[in-house]
Amino acid sequence: MINVLVELARCEEERQDTRHRLAGDRARLEFLAELGQECAEDAVEAEGEAARSRASLRNQETRIAELETALVRKRAQLAAAGEAKQRQALEREIAALQERIDRDFEEYCRLSGETEHRRDDADRARTDRDDRRLQEDREREAILARRGLLEAAAAEIEQEIARLQDLLPDQIRRHLERLWSKGLQAVVTVSGQACGGCFALLTPQQAIAADQGKDLVRCPSCSRFVVHPPWQ
Ligand SMILES: [Zn+2]
Protein backbone atom coordinates (compact mmCIF):
# COMPACT_ATOMS: atom_id res chain seq x y z
CA MET A 1 0.00 0.00 0.00
CA ILE A 2 2.79 2.40 0.85
CA ASN A 3 4.39 1.65 -2.49
CA VAL A 4 1.14 2.63 -4.18
CA LEU A 5 1.12 5.89 -2.24
CA VAL A 6 4.75 6.56 -3.18
CA GLU A 7 3.77 6.05 -6.78
CA LEU A 8 0.77 8.35 -6.28
CA ALA A 9 3.02 11.05 -4.83
CA ARG A 10 5.15 10.87 -7.98
CA CYS A 11 2.07 11.08 -10.22
CA GLU A 12 0.68 14.00 -8.26
CA GLU A 13 4.04 15.76 -8.56
CA GLU A 14 3.87 15.26 -12.34
CA ARG A 15 0.25 16.35 -12.45
CA GLN A 16 1.12 19.52 -10.57
CA ASP A 17 4.02 20.21 -12.89
CA THR A 18 1.90 19.62 -16.02
CA ARG A 19 -0.87 21.88 -14.73
CA HIS A 20 1.69 24.52 -13.90
CA ARG A 21 3.16 24.39 -17.39
CA LEU A 22 -0.26 24.51 -19.03
CA ALA A 23 -1.20 27.52 -16.90
CA GLY A 24 2.11 29.18 -17.80
CA ASP A 25 1.41 28.64 -21.49
CA ARG A 26 -2.11 30.02 -21.14
CA ALA A 27 -0.75 33.14 -19.44
CA ARG A 28 1.89 33.52 -22.13
CA LEU A 29 -0.75 33.27 -24.89
CA GLU A 30 -2.82 35.94 -23.18
CA PHE A 31 0.21 38.16 -22.79
CA LEU A 32 1.11 37.72 -26.47
CA ALA A 33 -2.41 38.64 -27.52
CA GLU A 34 -2.34 41.77 -25.34
CA LEU A 35 1.05 42.79 -26.67
CA GLY A 36 -0.13 42.29 -30.26
CA GLN A 37 -3.22 44.37 -29.54
CA GLU A 38 -1.07 47.13 -28.07
CA CYS A 39 1.21 47.22 -31.13
CA ALA A 40 -1.81 47.28 -33.45
CA GLU A 41 -3.29 50.20 -31.49
CA ASP A 42 0.03 52.05 -31.60
CA ALA A 43 0.13 51.62 -35.39
CA VAL A 44 -3.42 52.94 -35.78
CA GLU A 45 -2.61 55.91 -33.56
CA ALA A 46 0.60 56.73 -35.45
CA GLU A 47 -1.25 56.44 -38.76
CA GLY A 48 -3.90 58.85 -37.44
CA GLU A 49 -1.25 61.38 -36.42
CA ALA A 50 0.43 61.09 -39.82
CA ALA A 51 -2.91 61.66 -41.61
CA ARG A 52 -3.69 64.71 -39.44
CA SER A 53 -0.26 66.11 -40.19
CA ARG A 54 -0.72 65.59 -43.94
CA ALA A 55 -4.12 67.34 -43.80
CA SER A 56 -2.61 70.38 -41.99
CA LEU A 57 0.11 70.57 -44.61
CA ARG A 58 -2.43 70.51 -47.44
CA ASN A 59 -4.50 73.23 -45.71
CA GLN A 60 -1.43 75.37 -45.39
CA GLU A 61 -0.67 74.86 -49.08
CA THR A 62 -4.20 75.98 -50.00
CA ARG A 63 -3.92 79.04 -47.74
CA ILE A 64 -0.66 80.11 -49.36
CA ALA A 65 -2.06 79.55 -52.87
CA GLU A 66 -5.05 81.78 -52.00
CA LEU A 67 -2.77 84.50 -50.65
CA GLU A 68 -0.64 84.31 -53.79
CA THR A 69 -3.73 84.66 -55.98
CA ALA A 70 -4.73 87.72 -53.98
CA LEU A 71 -1.22 89.10 -54.36
CA VAL A 72 -1.34 88.73 -58.16
CA ARG A 73 -4.71 90.52 -58.20
CA LYS A 74 -3.42 93.40 -56.09
CA ARG A 75 -0.34 93.77 -58.28
CA ALA A 76 -2.56 93.97 -61.36
CA GLN A 77 -4.65 96.61 -59.60
CA LEU A 78 -1.49 98.54 -58.74
CA ALA A 79 -0.33 98.47 -62.34
CA ALA A 80 -3.69 99.92 -63.42
CA ALA A 81 -4.02 102.49 -60.60
CA GLY A 82 -3.52 106.12 -61.40
CA GLU A 83 -4.01 108.06 -58.19
CA ALA A 84 -1.05 108.29 -55.81
CA LYS A 85 -3.26 107.71 -52.76
CA GLN A 86 -4.80 104.58 -54.25
CA ARG A 87 -1.34 103.35 -55.26
CA GLN A 88 -0.02 103.84 -51.73
CA ALA A 89 -2.95 101.93 -50.26
CA LEU A 90 -2.39 99.05 -52.71
CA GLU A 91 1.33 99.00 -51.97
CA ARG A 92 0.58 98.67 -48.25
CA GLU A 93 -1.84 95.83 -48.93
CA ILE A 94 0.73 94.11 -51.14
CA ALA A 95 3.41 94.43 -48.46
CA ALA A 96 1.04 93.02 -45.84
CA LEU A 97 0.11 90.10 -48.10
CA GLN A 98 3.76 89.39 -48.83
CA GLU A 99 4.47 89.36 -45.11
CA ARG A 100 1.66 86.90 -44.47
CA ILE A 101 2.86 84.65 -47.27
CA ASP A 102 6.38 84.66 -45.80
CA ARG A 103 5.03 83.77 -42.35
CA ASP A 104 2.75 81.09 -43.72
CA PHE A 105 5.59 79.64 -45.75
CA GLU A 106 7.69 79.33 -42.60
CA GLU A 107 4.82 77.47 -40.98
CA TYR A 108 4.52 75.34 -44.12
CA CYS A 109 8.19 74.33 -43.82
CA ARG A 110 7.69 73.41 -40.17
CA LEU A 111 4.59 71.36 -41.01
CA SER A 112 6.42 69.67 -43.84
CA GLY A 113 9.17 68.49 -41.49
CA GLU A 114 6.59 67.35 -38.96
CA THR A 115 4.69 65.40 -41.63
CA GLU A 116 7.85 63.59 -42.57
CA HIS A 117 8.53 62.67 -38.94
CA ARG A 118 4.99 61.44 -38.45
CA ARG A 119 5.19 59.36 -41.62
CA ASP A 120 8.42 57.74 -40.38
CA ASP A 121 6.80 57.09 -36.99
CA ALA A 122 3.81 55.47 -38.69
CA ASP A 123 6.11 53.31 -40.86
CA ARG A 124 8.01 52.20 -37.79
CA ALA A 125 4.82 51.41 -35.88
CA ARG A 126 3.52 49.34 -38.79
CA THR A 127 6.80 47.43 -39.04
CA ASP A 128 6.75 46.81 -35.28
CA ARG A 129 3.19 45.57 -35.49
CA ASP A 130 3.96 43.23 -38.39
CA ASP A 131 7.14 41.89 -36.75
CA ARG A 132 5.25 41.35 -33.52
CA ARG A 133 2.50 39.49 -35.38
CA LEU A 134 4.99 37.17 -37.05
CA GLN A 135 6.75 36.45 -33.79
CA GLU A 136 3.45 35.98 -32.01
CA ASP A 137 2.22 33.53 -34.65
CA ARG A 138 5.40 31.49 -34.40
CA GLU A 139 5.31 31.40 -30.62
CA ARG A 140 1.61 30.61 -30.51
CA GLU A 141 2.12 27.70 -32.89
CA ALA A 142 4.90 26.32 -30.70
CA ILE A 143 2.79 26.72 -27.57
CA LEU A 144 -0.23 25.05 -29.16
CA ALA A 145 1.90 22.14 -30.33
CA ARG A 146 3.32 21.76 -26.84
CA ARG A 147 -0.14 22.05 -25.32
CA GLY A 148 -1.27 19.01 -27.30
CA LEU A 149 1.56 16.98 -25.78
CA LEU A 150 1.02 18.33 -22.28
CA GLU A 151 -2.69 17.59 -22.44
CA ALA A 152 -1.99 14.04 -23.60
CA ALA A 153 0.49 13.64 -20.74
CA ALA A 154 -2.05 15.07 -18.30
CA ALA A 155 -4.67 12.56 -19.45
CA GLU A 156 -2.18 9.72 -19.00
CA ILE A 157 -1.32 10.89 -15.49
CA GLU A 158 -5.03 11.05 -14.58
CA GLN A 159 -5.46 7.48 -15.79
CA GLU A 160 -2.49 6.31 -13.79
CA ILE A 161 -3.76 8.13 -10.69
CA ALA A 162 -7.18 6.48 -11.11
CA ARG A 163 -5.52 3.07 -11.52
CA LEU A 164 -3.42 3.55 -8.37
CA GLN A 165 -6.39 4.87 -6.44
CA ASP A 166 -8.30 1.68 -7.23
CA LEU A 167 -5.59 -0.35 -5.54
CA LEU A 168 -6.18 1.40 -2.20
CA PRO A 169 -8.65 0.66 0.60
CA ASP A 170 -11.87 2.73 0.57
CA GLN A 171 -11.00 4.73 3.66
CA ILE A 172 -7.73 5.96 2.15
CA ARG A 173 -9.38 6.67 -1.19
CA ARG A 174 -12.01 8.80 0.50
CA HIS A 175 -9.33 10.76 2.30
CA LEU A 176 -7.42 11.31 -0.94
CA GLU A 177 -10.59 12.58 -2.59
CA ARG A 178 -11.29 14.97 0.26
CA LEU A 179 -7.83 16.50 -0.11
CA TRP A 180 -8.07 16.63 -3.90
CA SER A 181 -11.45 18.34 -3.71
CA LYS A 182 -9.69 21.14 -1.82
CA GLY A 183 -7.20 21.40 -4.69
CA LEU A 184 -4.41 19.93 -2.55
CA GLN A 185 -1.77 17.38 -3.41
CA ALA A 186 -2.87 14.43 -1.27
CA VAL A 187 0.36 12.45 -1.02
CA VAL A 188 3.64 14.27 -0.48
CA THR A 189 7.19 13.20 0.22
CA VAL A 190 8.94 13.72 3.50
CA SER A 191 11.31 16.66 3.40
CA GLY A 192 14.02 16.26 6.06
CA GLN A 193 11.82 15.83 9.13
CA ALA A 194 8.96 17.85 7.70
CA CYS A 195 5.83 17.29 5.65
CA GLY A 196 6.61 18.09 2.01
CA GLY A 197 3.17 19.64 1.63
CA CYS A 198 2.85 22.16 4.46
CA PHE A 199 6.40 21.90 5.87
CA ALA A 200 5.17 21.32 9.40
CA LEU A 201 7.58 19.20 11.43
CA LEU A 202 6.63 15.56 11.89
CA THR A 203 7.33 13.73 15.12
CA PRO A 204 10.67 11.87 14.99
CA GLN A 205 8.78 8.53 14.90
CA GLN A 206 6.62 9.73 12.00
CA ALA A 207 9.65 11.01 10.11
CA ILE A 208 11.40 7.66 10.49
CA ALA A 209 8.25 5.72 9.58
CA ALA A 210 7.72 7.83 6.48
CA ASP A 211 11.36 7.64 5.54
CA GLN A 212 11.56 3.88 5.85
CA GLY A 213 8.11 3.23 4.41
CA LYS A 214 7.19 1.21 7.50
CA ASP A 215 3.96 2.88 8.46
CA LEU A 216 1.27 4.98 6.89
CA VAL A 217 2.00 8.55 8.02
CA ARG A 218 -0.43 11.41 7.94
CA CYS A 219 0.83 14.92 8.56
CA PRO A 220 -0.59 16.11 11.90
CA SER A 221 -0.92 19.61 10.49
CA CYS A 222 -2.43 19.24 6.97
CA SER A 223 -3.47 15.55 7.10
CA ARG A 224 -1.75 14.73 3.80
CA PHE A 225 -0.12 11.32 3.48
CA VAL A 226 3.61 11.63 3.84
CA VAL A 227 5.84 9.04 2.15
CA HIS A 228 9.49 8.67 1.19
CA PRO A 229 10.61 9.78 -2.29
CA PRO A 230 10.21 7.16 -5.05
CA TRP A 231 13.96 6.66 -5.50
CA GLN A 232 14.43 5.46 -1.92
ZN1 LIG B 1 1.50 18.78 6.16
- 188 C-alpha to ligand 1 centroid (Å): 8
* Residue 86 clears pLDDT 70, i.e. is over it: yes
Q: 166 CA distance to ligand 1 centroid (A)?
A: 24
CA of 216 to the centre of ligand 1 (A): 14
User: Is the per-residue pLDDT at 24 higher than 90?
Assistant: yes
Task: Report how far ligand 1's centroid is from the alpha carbon of 119 (Å).
Answer: 63
**What is the pTM assigned to this prediction?**
0.71
Q: Model confidence at 214, in pLDDT bands (50, 70, 90)?
A: confident
The terminus-to-terminus CA distance of the chain in angstroms comes to 16
pLDDT for the residue numbered 76: 96
The residue among 1 and 221 whose pLDDT is bigger is 221
- Percent of the chain residues past pLDDT 70, beyond the cut: 100
Q: How far is the CA of 183 from the centre of ligand 1 (A)?
A: 14
Distance 177 CA to ligand 1 centre (A): 16
Does the pLDDT at position 163 exceed 80? yes
DSSP letters for the chain:
-HHHHHHHHHHHHHHHHHHHHHHHHHHHHHHHHHHHHHHHHHHHHHHHHHHHHHHHHHHHHHHHHHHHHHHHHHHHHHHH--SHHHHHHHHHHHHHHHHHHHHHHHHHHHHHHHHHHHHHHHHHHHHHHHHHHHHHHHHHHHHHHHHHHHHHHHHHHHHHHHHHHHTS-HHHHHHHHHHHHTT--SEEEEETTEETTT-PBPPHHHHHHHHHT-S-EE-TTT--EEE--TT-
Q: Give the pLDDT score at 66.
A: 97
Q: Which CATH number fits domain 21-167: 3.40.50.300, 3.20.20.120, 1.10.287.1700, 3.30.70.2470?
A: 1.10.287.1700
Output the CA 182–ligand 1 centroid distance in Å.
14
Q: What is the pLDDT of residue 90?
A: 95
Q: Which pLDDT band, with edges at 50, 70 and 90, does 81 fall under?
A: confident
pLDDT per residue as tens digits for the range 112-141: 999 999 999 999 999 999 999 999 999 999
The DSSP code sequence of 178-202 is HHHHTT--SEEEEETTEETTT-PBP
Measuring CA to CA, how many Å separate 149 from each of 29, 92, 162?
16, 85, 20
Ligand 1 geometric centre to CA of 210 (Å) = 13
| Domain regions of the chain by residue span | 21-167, 169-232
The whole-number pLDDT of residue 196 equals 94
In angstroms, the CA 195 to CA 96 distance is 92
| 5: nearest Cα among 157, 186, 222, 183 | 186
- Residue 133: its pLDDT value, please? 93
| Cα 190 to ligand 1 centroid, rounded to whole Å | 9
Residues facing residue 194 across a β-bridge: 191, 201
* Mean pLDDT value of segment 4-25: 95
What's the whole-number mean pLDDT along residues 150-165?
A: 96
Confidence of residue 232 (pLDDT cuts 50, 70, 90): low
Distance between Cα 26 and ligand 1 center (Å) = 30
CA of 174 to the centre of ligand 1 (A): 18
* d(CA 157, ligand 1 centre) in Å: 23
Ligand 1 centroid–CA 10 distance in Å is 17
- Span 191-210, pLDDT tens digits: 989 999 999 999 999 999 99
Distance 60 CA to ligand 1 centre (A): 77
